[in-house]
Structure 1
Amino acid sequence: MKVLVSPMSIAEAIEAIEGGADIIDVKNPAEGSLGANFPWVIREISELARKHGKEISATTGDLPYKPGTASLAALGAAVAGADYIKVGLYGVRNAEEAYEMMSAVTKAVKDYDPRKKVVAAGYGDFYRINAVSPLDLPEVVSKAGVDIVMVDTAIKDGTALFDHMKIDDIQRFVKLAHDNGLLVALAGNIGWGHIELLKELSPDIIGVRSIVCEGDRSSMIKRELVVRLMEAVQG
């Protein structure tokens, strides 16, 4: 189980790298759950992280159902240096729209560099934003050529993924992903009390920010908290 940590600046990226995170995920919490950062920030963090042998992820936003916009944003993240390109299916209402959206994104990214990984991100609290259910995603995004399917939370109000999805449904999500040849990532205000449960669920990746920040998710990532998390996950 790899640990993905989401810095929003060079200073935070250094903390995440030196704390031992597996994947450095460039995002901008000010613009939402999967808020996009600027291309020059992605590029600068990518250059730094590669020197330390780290993989780079970048979010492209909590996106509306606009396949053209999504594909252009995804290509921008790929060109800026991201190895993993994450697309938040915020305004996507059903499986058909998810397929169209992710087909466009995958074509844009893979035509540029087939080694890049495309991540389709649904939301555990989908019912609060009238979005597609994560359980409807694995089969259709696999057909669209996606590499990884993820579930996060859309509304950052202190609740966690486990407050919005039943354990059985998360287990089913993981199984559906793996059955469709996808890697699976879980995120959404993961806390210290969730680590053992996550080990049982066995996703390929867990995504975090708040748990390794000195305060709330808008505060600074601290390397000692990243170290603590890596020890908990690997222990």
Structure 2
Amino acid sequence: MMTVGRAIPGLLVSVRSAAEARVALDGGADLIDVKEPTRGPLGAADRDVIEDAVRTVGGRTPVSAALGEWADYSGCDVPSGVTHVKWGLARLSECRSTDLGNMRRAALGAIPVLVAYADHRRAESPSPETVADAACRFRFPVVLFDTAMKDGSTLLDWLTLPVLARMRFRLADFGTKVAVAGSLDAGGIRALAPLAPDWFAVRGAACVGGRAGRVSAELVRQLRTIIHTNCVAADAG
């Protein structure tokens, strides 16, 4: 098994507007993710919102876009300037090669992110283990572990750290990067630090007023400090 690189994980902050993208940048976010949380866990923002966010970021960090669930995807083009795109697998019973191939093609040059819902039975999606296996077989560059239902439960309420670690390190063997999400807060980041993910992905923890609130530069800075402090400590241990 290969050793996972020891670079400090990045902080992905999900935003719903260009104004929030600017605030997240001011706080030190490493990756700006554009989505509309009222439309689901991977709710797609309107195209003009994504394009405005890309212009605001101006190449200072990568910009990803959530585009909804693959089962609902209508084939719209990926906005220019987006570096990563992701679709959920809700209501799909398995990771079919045709779906995965079409997903990669639909990314149109952006990096496709395969999403594993920890609460997969509630989402009627493939299990995280199945998604991780598919990512290895089909050479997806990135896997995101997330929760489908935003009801206060977290990633670790659905998957144990040892199970996550097995998937994370197997994906690393195949060169696949890993992001972890799922209602993460400071405690969740500390608990998941031993995984050495490539990104911690947050929305609610970076907002005043939770997931439906507004992004705060100060909260983003605090989360970044927590990542750096705890991941350096995990490396030292």
Pair in the same fold by TM > 0.5: yes
1:46 to 46, 54, 59: 54
CA distance in 2, matches of 1:102, 1:92: 11
Structure 2 residue aligned with 1:100? 98
Q: Which moved more, 1:100-109 or 1:155-164?
A: 100-109
1:30 aligns with 2:38: yes
- Matches of residues 94-133 of structure 1 in structure 2 within 5 Å? 94-95=94-95, 97=96, 99-109=97-107, 112-113=108-109, 116-133=110-127
Matches within 5 A, 1:1-235: 1-51=9-59, 53-64=60-71, 69=73, 72-73=75-76, 76-77=77-78, 79-95=79-95, 97=96, 99-109=97-107, 112-113=108-109, 116-235=110-229
Secondary structure at 2:121 match in 1: helix
RMSD of equivalent CA atoms? 1.6
**CA deviation profile, 1:190-220 (whole Å, cap 9, x unmatched):** 0111222222111111110010111120011
- Greater alpha carbon shift after TM alignment, 82-91 vs 144-153: 144-153
Question: Aligned partners of 1:137 and 1:179: how far apart in 2?
Answer: 15
- What is the letter of the counterpart of residue 42 of structure 1? I
Check 1:168–1:231 CA distance in 2 against 1; reply closer, same or farther (3 A cut): same
Kept in 1: contact 2:42–2:68 (CA 8 A)? yes
CA distance in 1, matches of 2:137, 2:81: 25
Of 12-21 and 135-144, the range deviating more from structure 2: 135-144
Alpha-carbon spacing, 1:34–1:58, altered in 2? closer, same or farther (3 Å): same
Name the structure where helix makes up a greater proportion of residues.
1
Distance 1:91 1:81 in 2: 29
State the shift of 1:186 in Å: 0.7
1:102 Cα deviation from its structure 2 partner: 1.9
How many residues get paired? Answer: 221
Partner amino acid, structure 2, of 1:87: W
Cα separation, 2, equivalents of 1:220 and 1:176: 36
| Percent identity of equivalent pairs | 31
In the alignment, the residues of structure 2 paired with residue 169 and residue 119 of structure 1 have an alpha-carbon distance, to the nearest angstrom, of 20
1:217 aligned counterpart, secondary structure: helix
Shift of 1:182: 0.7
Where does structure 2 lack aligned partners over 5 or more consecutive residues? 1-8, 230-237
Question: Could you tell me how far 1:145 is from its partner in structure 2?
Answer: 4.1
Distance 1:209 1:129 in 2: 20
